Structure 1
Amino acid sequence: MKVVVLGCGYVGLELGRQLTAAGHDVVGVRRSDAGLEAVADAGLDPVRADVTEPETLADVPDADWVVFAASSGGRGADAARRVFVDGLQNAVDAFAARESPPERLVYTSSTGVYGDHDGDWVDEATPLDPTTDKTRVLARAEEVALSAPFSSTVTRFAGLYGPDRYRLERYLEGPVTEGYLNMVHRDDAAGAVRFALERDVDDVLLIVDDEPVSKWEFADWLADACGVARPEKRTKAERLAAGDLSEAARRRILTSKRCSNERLRTLGYEFVYPTFRAGYRAAIDAYRRDV
């Protein structure tokens, strides 16, 4: 299959590598020279385009499958809207107008669209309740994807980690605020998208590993594995009272939930890193070598 990955970044590059290894022809779309160089280094066909500039999408070739994995660069809701809503609509319109439109679109969303569930379980059937401007943008983008004039899938990623994104210091140095962590290793995030493409999975798919974990429990496990003292703990009330939180940090504290991967497992996906215990092993080994 011919696959176009729009916004071929952290997950998109790994997805491209996996799809190429499986015999697919992959085009990685980025808007910067550095991004295009990374695409080429991954063995993919680099094409320059920007989803917020619809005229540039004419340079992107036709595809059987399109994956929208663009990032807003961690900026605010307005930037997110330009990329995830307007940019996604630009991509849908551009590919839908072609003589050979794609068979499937996959849009990569976030479990942030669920909002707060006070530690209860959520799955694909749980109603969305986004609590910030940015997560409301993400929920709106899901509507754009699912209303596309070709088959579409929304993949909701839990917290991504993996090479260059382990962030050990956050949990080793503390203080660590109570709540749950829902995680998925980059390789499995990409692997689950590849699985959704190859298995023609429709609708919504929650991509998270087998074990949502208490932040306090995770921090203690990580400290023990790294051979350092366990970090200081704080309750939500204590952390919120500090008053020095970014919007993203505040949202993480106030939106506690446990995400279920039952549908993904039932469909037959097999995780490379089923839990953080396997996924963090490389980072722990590197940490212990360096101290």
Structure 2
Amino acid sequence: MRVAILGCGYVGLELGRQLTAAGHDVVGVRRSDAGLDAIETAGFEAVRADLTDEASLVAVPDVDWAVYAASAGGRGVDAARAAYVDGLRTVVAAFGTRESPPDRLVYTSSTGVYGDHGGDWVNESTTPDPATDRQRVLLEAERVALKETATHDIDGTVVRFGGLYGPDRYRMDRYLDGPVTEGYLNSIHRDDAASVVAHLLTADVARGEVVLAVDDDPVSKWDFADWLAEQCGVSPPKKWTVAERAATTEGEVSRRARANKRCANDRLHRLGYELQYPTVREGYLPAIRAFRDD
């Protein structure tokens, strides 16, 4: 199959490597020189295009599958809307009106759309309740991925990733230096995140549906920080309650600090996917070894 990875960054590069190794014809799309160089280094075709510019997307060839994995260039709501909603809507319109539109489009979203559930479990049947404007933008983009694709006979799928980590993104200081806010980690290793998307495409499952992509153990942040400190041979970090964290911040950051939930991945397993890194403990072993050797 021919696949376009639109916004081919941290997860997209690994997805491209995996699909290429499996014999698929992959095109990675970025607009920056650095992004294009990274795609070529990863070993598949690079195409320059601006996802918010329909005329620019002419450079991207027809494909069987499209994966929209763009990230916002800035932290603000306007940047998020441009990247997630405007870009996705432009891509759907541009590819959907082609003589040979893609059969499927996978949009990579976030578990942040659930908002706060007081530490309770959530799954695909839980109604999203975004806590911030940025998360509300993500939910709006999900509607584009599921509804507007259907008007062009494209089957959309939304994958809600937990917190991404892995090579170059272990952020050890966040847990070792502290303070660490109470709550749960809903995580997924980069390699698993990419493999989940590949599995949904190649196994031909979850058309028109939402899938939660997280590991098997939404571990307590405090417990994980203590375990990591022990593994690294350092003192445990300072702990903050949510109230203490919120008292030091304002606005949306405070609401995000209260967005506490545990994400269930039962459906992911029922779809036939088995995690390479079932918990963050396995996933962090390379970072722990590097810390010890430093």
TM-score range, shorter chain: over 0.9
Equivalent of 2:162 in 122, 136, 158: 158
CA distance in 1, matches of 2:191, 2:251: 28
Give the structure 1 partner of residue 108 of structure 2. Answer: 108
Task: Note the residue ranges of structure 2 that are not aligned, 5 or more in a row.
Answer: none
CA positional deviation for 1:108: 0.3
What letter matches 1:226 in structure 2? C
Give the structure 2 partner of residue 120 of structure 1. Answer: 120
1:228 aligns with 2:241: no
Contact 2:88 2:141 in 1 (8 A): yes
Give the structure 2 partner of residue 143 of structure 1. Answer: 143
Give the structure 1 partner of residue 75 of structure 2. Answer: 75
Q: Secondary structure at the match of 1:213?
A: coil
Contact 2:8 2:69 in 1 (8 A): yes
CA distance in 1, matches of 2:231, 2:80: 37
1:6 aligns with 2:12: no
CA distance in 1, matches of 2:119, 2:20: 39
What letter matches 2:133 in structure 1? D
CA distance in 2, matches of 1:246, 1:130: 14
CA distance in 2, matches of 1:188, 1:252: 25
Q: Deviations over 1:194-249 (max 9, x none)?
A: 00111222211100000001110010010001110011111111121223x684x4
Equivalent of 1:212 in 218, 238, 255: 218
CA positional deviation for 1:74: 4.1
Runs of 4+ in structure 1 over 3 Å off: none
Give the structure 1 partner of residue 57 of structure 2. Answer: 57
CA distance in 1, matches of 2:10, 2:230: 29
CA distance in 2, matches of 1:251, 1:288: 36
1:240 aligns with 2:246: yes
Give the structure 1 partner of residue 203 of structure 2. Answer: 199
What letter matches 2:272 in structure 1? G
Q: Secondary structure at the match of 1:155?
A: strand
Q: Secondary structure at the match of 1:62?
A: coil
Contact 2:123 2:212 in 1 (8 A): yes
Task: Note the residue ranges of structure 1 that are not aligned, 5 or more in a row.
Answer: none
Give the structure 1 partner of residue 87 of structure 2. Answer: 87
Compute the RMSD of aligned alpha carbons.
1.1
CA positional deviation for 1:86: 1.0
CA distance in 1, matches of 2:178, 2:191: 27
Q: Secondary structure at the match of 2:55?
A: helix
1:153-192 alignment runs, 5 A limit? 153-192=157-196
CA positional deviation for 1:73: 2.5
Q: TM-score w.r.t. structure 1 length?
A: 0.97
Change (3 A) 1:251 1:24: farther
Q: Secondary structure at the match of 2:105?
A: strand
Give the structure 2 partner of residue 17 of structure 1. Answer: 17
CA distance in 2, matches of 1:133, 1:3: 31
CA positional deviation for 1:251: 4.0
What letter matches 1:121 in structure 2? W
Change (3 A) 1:246 1:171: farther
Give the structure 1 partner of residue 284 of structure 2. Answer: 280
Q: State the identity %.
A: 65
Contact 2:73 2:83 in 1 (8 A): no
| Count of paired positions | 288
CA distance in 1, matches of 2:226, 2:279: 16
Q: Deviations over 1:30-74 (max 9, x none)?
A: 000010000000001000001112210011000000000001124
CA positional deviation for 1:250: 2.8
Q: Secondary structure at the match of 2:288?
A: helix
CA distance in 1, matches of 2:226, 2:257: 18
- Higher mean displacement: 145-154 or 183-192: 145-154
Q: Secondary structure at the match of 1:285?
A: helix
What letter matches 2:84 in structure 1? F
Q: Secondary structure at the match of 2:222?
A: helix
Q: TM-score w.r.t. structure 2 length?
A: 0.96
Change (3 A) 1:93 1:138: same
CA distance in 1, matches of 2:248, 2:138: 28
CA distance in 2, matches of 1:13, 1:42: 7
Q: Secondary structure at the match of 1:125?
A: coil
